[in-house]
Amino acid sequence: MATIYLNTVRLRAMMTERGWTERDLAQAMDISIPYLNRLLNGQRGLGAHALAGLRLAGIAWDAVVEIVPSTVGDDATEESSLP
């Protein structure tokens, strides 16, 4: 299974290029400012609502989203760490 990550460095750079504050981006994405803040600080994972919001804001997913495939070893490690 792959993991989807938000590249916050790229997203913040895009915000700067557009002259957007967090409030501006949250409004463009139709999400709350606290939700956006949690996304930007890595406290919240990307879900369908956030992905849709990126589209609403005119931000292409491939510009700020990274998909990292897991390896067989990753799955084995996770399972072996269970009690």
DSSP letters spanning 12-66: HHHHHHHT--HHHHHHHHTS-HHHHHHHHTTSS---HHHHHHHHHTT--HHHHEE
Q: What was the pLDDT predicted at 45?
A: 86
Q: Which residues of the chain have pLDDT under 50?
A: 76-83
Q: What was the pLDDT predicted at 72?
A: 66
Q: What was the pLDDT predicted at 80?
A: 38
Q: What was the pLDDT predicted at 73?
A: 61
Domains plus CATH for the chain?
2-80 (1.10.260.40)
Q: What was the pLDDT predicted at 52?
A: 96
The string of pLDDT tens digits covering residues 57-75 is 999 999 999 998 988 665 5
